[in-house]
């Protein structure tokens, strides 16, 4: 069975989260080579990408980065994504020296409070003229 979206770099994000959507806006502006694509975790595309990983306990407060068929979650996903942005953003990859349980504890703290701090949308984000082709689901 072939993995869906093989060879693509797709960020799965909570489409109702304001912080997540602002992060997507930033990434779209910053990814000048347009290598990154985006899909909300609530989309059929995300379900298709995650189907082979059904045994993973993934929730809507977890960013997931599908990098050519390999999944990265939480802080590791953030650091991998930054690597595709170029200088100066790629320099945050140095934080990989911090053990992932510690990085993920910080990530989890932010994830637990993101809606309280930034709010949420009633509906998930949909592609518009500016993001067509980048937001795929």
pLDDT tens for the chain, residues 1 to 137: 455 567 789 999 988 888 888 999 999 999 989 999 999 888 888 888 888 777 666 667 789 999 988 889 999 999 999 999 989 999 998 999 999 999 999 999 999 998 889 888 766 655 555 665 677 76
The whole-angstrom separation of Cα 101 and Cα 125 is 31
Q: Are 36 and 11 in contact (CB under 8 A)?
A: yes
The pTM of this model reads 0.85
């Amino acid at each position: 069975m072939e993995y869906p979206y093989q060879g693509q770099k797709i960020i799965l994000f909570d489409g109702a989260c304001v912080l997540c959507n602002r992060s997507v806006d930033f990434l779209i502006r910053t990814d000048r080579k347009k290598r990154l694509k985006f899909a909300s975790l609530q989309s059929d595309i995300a379900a298709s990408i995650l189907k082979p990983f059904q045994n993973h306990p993934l929730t809507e407060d977890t960013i997931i980065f599908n990098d050519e068929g390999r999944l990265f979650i939480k802080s590791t996903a953030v650091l991998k994504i930054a690597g595709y942005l170029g200088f100066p953003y790629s320099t945050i990859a140095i934080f990989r020296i911090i053990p992932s349980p510690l990085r993920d504890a910080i990530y989890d703290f932010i994830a637990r409070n993101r809606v309280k701090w930034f709010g949420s949308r009633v509906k998930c984000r949909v592609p518009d003229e500016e993001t067509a082709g980048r937001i795929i689901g």
